Structure 1
Amino acid sequence: MPAEAPLRRLLLLHRDPALARRVRSLLEPAEQARHRVAHFTHLSDALTCLRIDDVDLVLVGPEPADVDQVGAVQQLGAARPETPQLALMVSPDAAGTAAVRAAGARESLPLDEADLQAWLRTIDFCLREAAITRELAEVTARLDWLVHMDGLTGLLNRKGMERALRDELAEARLTGHDLSVLLVDLDDFSRLNATLGHGVGDLVLVGAARRIRESVREQDKVGRCGTDRFVVLLPAAAPGEADVVAEKIRLAVGRDVISAGGQSLQTTASLSLTTIADPDLSWDEVMARAHFVLQQGKLSGKNRVSHAATIVPGGPVLPALAGPHMVRALLEDDVLEAVSQPIVNLDDGRIVSREMLVRGPEGPLRRPDNLFRFCQENDILAAVDLRCLRLCAAHARGLGPRPDYHVNIMPATLLQTPSPELVRALTDGRDDVTCCLEISEQQLLGDPSVLVPHVRELQQAGVRIAIDDVGFGNSCLEGLIMLHPQVIKVDKRLVRGLAVDPEMRRALSRLLRVADVLEAEVVAEGIETTDDFQVLVDMGVRFGQGFLFGRPVPCREAAPGVPDAAVAEA
C-alpha cells in the first residue's frame, strides 16, 4: 500500500476569492503532495490564523484587502519569521521581485504562467530550506546551551554568567541602577565529597541549585561558577531587597539534610553580598571582590552573609580592611604605578609613541614578573591585568594632545573582556587617541585562532595590534600569520649584542623579511648601545626603544612630545 502523500498547510492572503479557487484547483489535485489552502482577504485575519494554527507556507497575493503586498510580507514575516512566504505576482519584473524579496519573501510565483511543476518545485525548495533553517536553529540553541549552561544543575555556567554580567552591566549603564552580586559557597563541601563520594556530592549540588532558584526573584540570574560555588546577579534591587534574598538563600540551603553511610549532614552556605555601581568592571574584577569578601567573612564563622561597601567608579575593587592585605592592595588604584618609556624613530630620534608599563608596590612585587606571578597564584591575574590596562590608558590620555601610546594585555584578558569594553577603556570615546595593544608572543600558548575574532574587532575599531617579544626562543609564526598585527616588536634578546653576533643578525634579517611580507612595522626593544643602534639602522629597522633613548619613568615626569632626560643625554 503506497504511503500517503504529506499534507501541506498553506495560507493565501488576497482580496479576491477567485484567486483562492484558482490556486486550490492547481495544487489540490497534485499527486506529489496534499495541499490544504486557507484563504483570507484581510491581513489581520491572516495574522490571527498564524498565531493559532499550524501553517507551513504563506502565499501573499498581489492585492490583500487592507495593505499592499510588500507591507503584508513584512508584517507576516515579523509575526512568524520561521514560516516561508511566496509572493504571487502578475508578470513579475526584476524590480518587483527584488522588492518582495527585500521585504522577506523567499521567491515570487507568476500568476499568468501558473505551471504546476514549477510551483511545486518552488514550494518544495522553500519548505526544505525552512526545515534546514529550523534544524540549524535547534542545533545552535543546543550548542549555546552546552556552552553556557551547567549540565549537572541546569544553571548558567561561568561563560553563561560572564555573558549575563555583561548584559546586566550594560543595562545598569543605561538605567543608572546598581547591580548586586551574591556569591554562595557551600560549607565543607570538599570534605563531604571526599567522605561520601561524588554521587552524594552531586546530589548536594543539585539540591542547593534548586533551593537557590526557589529563593531568587524572577529577573535574577543564577549560575554555578566553581565546584561548590554559585553566583546570583540581582539587577536593580531596592534597598534591603538583596539582603532579604541572601538570607532566604542561606536558610533554604540549610534546610537540606543528607543521609548516607549512616551519617546525617546538614548543608550550609556562606555568602558574600556586593553592590556594583561601576558598570565598567569585568567579570574577574567583580569575582575578585566577591571572593575576598567571602573569605574575610568566613574568618568570623561559616553559614552567614558577609557584606561589602559599594564599588563605585574610580574606587577600589576590594574594601579597605584593617591590616595589610596584598591581594586587596593590588586591586586598589593607588598601589600600582604607571610608567612610560619612549618609542623613537631611529632615523632622527623623534619620540613617536610611548609604551605604558606598570610597577607594583614597593618591595618584591615592584618587578612586573614578580607582580604577575603573585597575581596568578592568587587567581586575580586577569583582574589586575585589566586594571593595569585602564590605569595605563588613563595616564597615556593625559600626556598631551593627540596621545599615541602602546599598552600590554594578556591573551586571557583579551579573551574574557568584550571588545567594546576594551575600546572604551583605551580611548574613553576620544577620536584623537592612537593606541596599540601589545600581546606577548611568550603567552600565545595553544591555538592562536581563538584570538582572531577579538583582534579583528579591535582593529576594526581603530586599535592597532602588536605582537610583543617576537624572536629568540618564543617564535610562533602561526600566531603572526593568523593575527596579522600592524606592529612586530623584536625581543631584546635578539637586539642586545647584535653588533658582535653575526648569527643574531641573520636571525633578525629573516624576521624582518617576515614582517615585510605581513606589512607590519618593526620596533626593536632593549637598545642599550650605540653599536647595536647603528646595526639596526643599517638593517632598515625604523623604530626602537631601550635605555639608550630613555628608561621607564613615572608618567608625571614624562613630558608629552619632549625627550626624557635620558634621551637628551643620548
Structure 2
Amino acid sequence: MLENGPVKVLLVEDDDLDAKLVKCRLAEDADHDFLLETVDTLAAACERLSQGNIDVILADLSLPDSEDKSKTLEVLYSKAPSIPLVILTGYNDYSFELEMVRKGIQDYVIKDQVTRQLLTRVILHAIERQRLKRENEALMGQLERLALLDPLTEFLNRRGLQKTLSREIEWVRKSKFPLLAVLLDLDDFKRVNDAFGHAVGDRVLKEVAHAFLKTLRTTDYVARIGGDEFVILLPQTSMLAGLKLAERIRLAIAETSIDVGADKIQVTASLGLAEVFQENNTVEALLSKMHEALAQSKRKGKNRISSDGAGAKSGVGQGRLLEQVLETMKDGKSYRVVKQPIFRLKDLTVSGYEFLSRSSVEPFETPEDFFKTCLEFNSLGFVDQLCFRNCVAQANKLPQGIKKHINLYPATLLSVSPDQLLSAFPKGAQLSDFCVEIGEELIPGDSSALLQNSDKLKQAGLTIAIDDVGFGKSSLESLVILEPHFVKIDKRLVIGIADDRSHLRVLERLLEVIHTLGAQVIAEGIEREEDLKVLQSLGVEYGQGFLWGQPE
C-alpha cells in the first residue's frame, strides 16, 4: 500500500482468463491493498492514462488494436512516461526481454510463472525503482544546475555563461538576429568591502543584482564572472535597443539604496556594450572584446555606458552614445504629442483628453525612458517645459468645452515661475478647459512648497489634478494642502481590482477621503470590462485606459 492509499494498478490485457488470473493473484495478498482496473485495448489504456491517478501499468504488448509490440511500448511510454511499466506476457524470449529492459521497462513477467508473491514483489519493486529513478534524475538536474550557477547571486557562472553563449551564437548563425553583450562593473566597490566588510559587500551585490534584474526581459541572461563584474547577454537585440536596456540597468543600480545600520550605501556601475559575433565564441574572447568599451566608461568618469564601436553597423557609433542622445532630446522638434480620451463613466461619453509626449529619439521614445534619463542628467526641467508647451499647443486645437489634461513634473512647477508656464497658452485660450496634472509620487516631502505656484495657476483659471495617487509612497498631505480639482487613481490600484479585495478596500477608503475634500476622481489603467463595472458601482466619475485603445 502506498502512503496515501491503495496501489492503483492498470492492467492492459485482452485475454479474459489472464485478466482473471491477475485479479485472483492480487486478491490473495492480504498484506497489500491493490486497486485493479482492466482495459483490453491500447486505445482504452491511453484514454485511462490521460485521466491520471495510476501507480503502475501491467501490460501485454500484443493487443487487438496494436500487434506491433515495440509500437505498443512506445505509445504507452508517450502517454505515461513517469509511471512504471511491467510487461506481462506469454512470450518467453530472453533476447526480447533484454531489448524491452533496455527500452526502460521495470520488469518482464511470464504469465504461466505468475504467483501471488512474484506479482506483488514485481509491482512494489517497480514502483520503488521508478521513485528512486525520479529522485536521482531530480538530484542530477539540481547538481548540473548548481554547477552552472554562481552561489551568491544564483546568476550563471563562467561555465554557465559559456554554455549559454555557445547556444546563442549558434542561434545567431542560423537566424541572423543580432546578439549583444553588456559587461557591467560596479564602480569603486572595493571601498564598500573595506568600509563595511565582505558580508555587507555580498549583501549589496545581491540587492544590486536583484534591482537590475527587474529591468531585463525574460529572454536575457545574466552571469556573474568575478567579484563585482557581470555579463548580460541580450538575444535578438539591436544596438539601439541594447543602449536603451543598458541605460535602464545603469539607472536601476544608481537608484538602489541599501540600509546598513545608520548608513545608506549607494553604488553606481560602468557598462560596456558590444555586439557578439561568431569569433567571440568563448567567454575569454567576449570579455576581451568588451573590456575596452568598459574602460572607456571608466575613463570618462564612471557611471556611464560606452560601446566598442561595432554598433556603427546598426547606425549607432560613438557619436550616438548617451551624451549625444541627451543633446538631441533637448531639441523641441524631437517630440510628438499623442492623446488618450477620458470618459465619464456614468454614460461612457468622452469628457476630455490627456495629452502625452513621445520622443522621436531612439531608443528613448516613451516618457518613462526619456524623462528618467533627463532627471539623471539634470535636464528634466528644460525637457519638461518643452513637452508642456508642445502638449498645450496640440490641445488648444480641440474645441472649447472639452477638458484638456497636460502633465507637469512637480520639480518644474517648483522651479519655473507661474507666468512662464502660463505663457505657453495662446492668447484667447479658454484656460478653464485646461487641467495641469502633477505627479504625486514625485512631489517633494513638503507639499506646501508647491502651494504658492499651484494657487497662481488656479487663479489664472486652470484646474489642477494630482496624478498617480493610491500606490507606492502616496500621501494624503498633498491632497489636503494643494486642494486639487481632480485626483487620478494610479493604474496599479485599478488594474485587476475586480479580482483583488485588498485593492478594492483601499480604493473604497480613498474615495471617501477624496470626495470629502471636494475633488472628483479619474481612474487610470482601465483595461477590462469587469474592472470598469466595479469602478462604476463605486461612483468613480471618470476613467481612462487601454479598454478604449492606445493613446494616439
TM-score normalised over the length of structure 2: 0.51
Pairing of 1:6-155 with structure 2 (within 5 A) = 7-15=6-14, 20-43=19-42, 46-47=45-46, 50=49, 53-64=52-63, 66-68=65-67, 69-94=69-94, 96-98=96-98, 100-101=100-101, 103-155=103-155
SS in 2 for 1:252: helix
Contact kept in structure 2, 1:9 and 1:37, CA below 8 Å:
yes
Return the offset for 1:285. Answer: 0.5
In 2: Cα distance, 1:28 partner to 1:130 partner: 24
Matched, 1:234 2:253: no
Return the offset for 1:11. Answer: 2.6
The residue type paired with residue 26 of structure 1 is R
Contact kept in structure 2, 1:276 and 1:311, CA below 8 Å:
no
The residue type paired with residue 67 of structure 1 is S
Contact kept in structure 1, 2:177 and 2:236, CA below 8 Å:
yes
Corresponding residue number in structure 1 for 2:162:
162
Return the offset for 1:165. Answer: 1.3
Q: CA offsets per residue over residues 101-152 of structure 1, 9 Å max, x none?
A: 4543233222233222222333344333323322322321232233211222
Return the offset for 1:71. Answer: 1.5
Return the offset for 1:17. Answer: 6.7
Corresponding residue number in structure 2 for 1:377:
none
Contact kept in structure 1, 2:184 and 2:270, CA below 8 Å:
yes
In 2: Cα distance, 1:296 partner to 1:222 partner: 22
List alignment gaps of at least 5 residues for structure 1. Answer: 313-318, 320-570
Q: CA offsets per residue over residues 164-223 of structure 1, 9 Å max, x none?
A: 112222332333333211112222221112212223222221112222332222122212
Once the two structures are aligned, what percentage of the paired residues are identical?
28
Contact kept in structure 2, 1:177 and 1:277, CA below 8 Å:
no
State the aligned residue count.
312
Contact kept in structure 2, 1:84 and 1:130, CA below 8 Å:
yes
Indicate how the Cα distance of structure 1 residues 207 and 116 shifts in structure 2: closer, same or farther if over 3 A, else same: same
Indicate how the Cα distance of structure 1 residues 91 and 233 shifts in structure 2: closer, same or farther if over 3 A, else same: same
SS in 2 for 1:285: helix
Corresponding residue number in structure 1 for 2:353:
none
SS in 2 for 1:215: coil
Corresponding residue number in structure 2 for 1:308:
308
Corresponding residue number in structure 2 for 1:277:
277
List alignment gaps of at least 5 residues for structure 2. Answer: 313-317, 319-552
SS in 2 for 1:104: coil
In 2: Cα distance, 1:280 partner to 1:290 partner: 10
In 1: Cα distance, 2:107 partner to 2:262 partner: 70
Corresponding residue number in structure 1 for 2:408:
none
In 1: Cα distance, 2:211 partner to 2:42 partner: 47
Pairing of 1:332-411 with structure 2 (within 5 A) = none
Pairing of 1:154-193 with structure 2 (within 5 A) = 154-193=154-193
Indicate how the Cα distance of structure 1 residues 62 and 141 shifts in structure 2: closer, same or farther if over 3 A, else same: closer
Q: CA offsets per residue over residues 381-421 of structure 1, 9 Å max, x none?
A: xxxxxxxxxxxxxxxxxxxxxxxxxxxxxxxxxxxxxxxxx
The residue type paired with residue 38 of structure 2 is H
Return the offset for 1:86. Answer: 1.2
Pairing of 1:483-522 with structure 2 (within 5 A) = none
In 2: Cα distance, 1:246 partner to 1:114 partner: 68
Return the offset for 1:227. Answer: 1.1
Return the offset for 1:257. Answer: 0.7
Corresponding residue number in structure 1 for 2:213:
213
In 2: Cα distance, 1:145 partner to 1:206 partner: 19
In 1: Cα distance, 2:48 partner to 2:254 partner: 51
SS in 1 for 2:113: coil
Larger Rg belongs to? 2
Indicate how the Cα distance of structure 1 residues 234 and 3 shifts in structure 2: closer, same or farther if over 3 A, else same: closer
Return the offset for 1:5. Answer: 10
Contact kept in structure 1, 2:10 and 2:58, CA below 8 Å:
yes
Corresponding residue number in structure 2 for 1:197:
197
SS in 2 for 1:105: coil
Q: CA offsets per residue over residues 26-84 of structure 1, 9 Å max, x none?
A: 22442343222333445455446545534332222234454344223113324444432
Contact kept in structure 2, 1:24 and 1:37, CA below 8 Å:
yes
In 2: Cα distance, 1:259 partner to 1:9 partner: 56
Contact kept in structure 2, 1:172 and 1:279, CA below 8 Å:
no
SS in 2 for 1:240: helix
Corresponding residue number in structure 1 for 2:482:
none
In 1: Cα distance, 2:169 partner to 2:307 partner: 20
Contact kept in structure 2, 1:278 and 1:311, CA below 8 Å:
no
Return the offset for 1:299. Answer: 0.7
Indicate how the Cα distance of structure 1 residues 41 and 254 shifts in structure 2: closer, same or farther if over 3 A, else same: farther
Contact kept in structure 1, 2:158 and 2:283, CA below 8 Å:
no
Q: CA offsets per residue over residues 336-360 of structure 1, 9 Å max, x none?
A: xxxxxxxxxxxxxxxxxxxxxxxxx
The residue type paired with residue 233 of structure 2 is L
Contact kept in structure 2, 1:181 and 1:232, CA below 8 Å:
yes
SS in 2 for 1:226: coil
Corresponding residue number in structure 2 for 1:224:
224
SS in 2 for 1:219: coil
Q: CA offsets per residue over residues 358-392 of structure 1, 9 Å max, x none?
A: xxxxxxxxxxxxxxxxxxxxxxxxxxxxxxxxxxx
In 2: Cα distance, 1:26 partner to 1:271 partner: 71
Contact kept in structure 1, 2:186 and 2:267, CA below 8 Å:
yes
In 2: Cα distance, 1:4 partner to 1:256 partner: 49
TM-score normalised over the length of structure 1: 0.49
Q: CA offsets per residue over residues 220-254 of structure 1, 9 Å max, x none?
A: 22121111112111222245332222222222222
SS in 1 for 2:237: coil
The residue type paired with residue 192 of structure 1 is V
The residue type paired with residue 74 of structure 1 is E
SS in 1 for 2:214: helix
The residue type paired with residue 219 of structure 1 is T
Contact kept in structure 2, 1:257 and 1:265, CA below 8 Å:
yes
Q: CA offsets per residue over residues 250-294 of structure 1, 9 Å max, x none?
A: 222222112324332323222111111225631100012122221
RMSD: 3.2
The residue type paired with residue 283 of structure 2 is W
Corresponding residue number in structure 1 for 2:537:
none
In 2: Cα distance, 1:239 partner to 1:48 partner: 52
SS in 1 for 2:219: coil
Corresponding residue number in structure 2 for 1:263:
263
Indicate how the Cα distance of structure 1 residues 203 and 116 shifts in structure 2: closer, same or farther if over 3 A, else same: same
SS in 2 for 1:112: helix
In 1: Cα distance, 2:156 partner to 2:115 partner: 53
SS in 1 for 2:232: strand
Indicate how the Cα distance of structure 1 residues 52 and 268 shifts in structure 2: closer, same or farther if over 3 A, else same: farther
Contact kept in structure 2, 1:277 and 1:311, CA below 8 Å:
no
In 1: Cα distance, 2:110 partner to 2:164 partner: 48
Corresponding residue number in structure 2 for 1:289:
289
Indicate how the Cα distance of structure 1 residues 208 and 4 shifts in structure 2: closer, same or farther if over 3 A, else same: closer
Contact kept in structure 1, 2:7 and 2:33, CA below 8 Å:
yes
Matched, 1:246 2:251: no
Matched, 1:299 2:303: no
In 2: Cα distance, 1:113 partner to 1:275 partner: 67
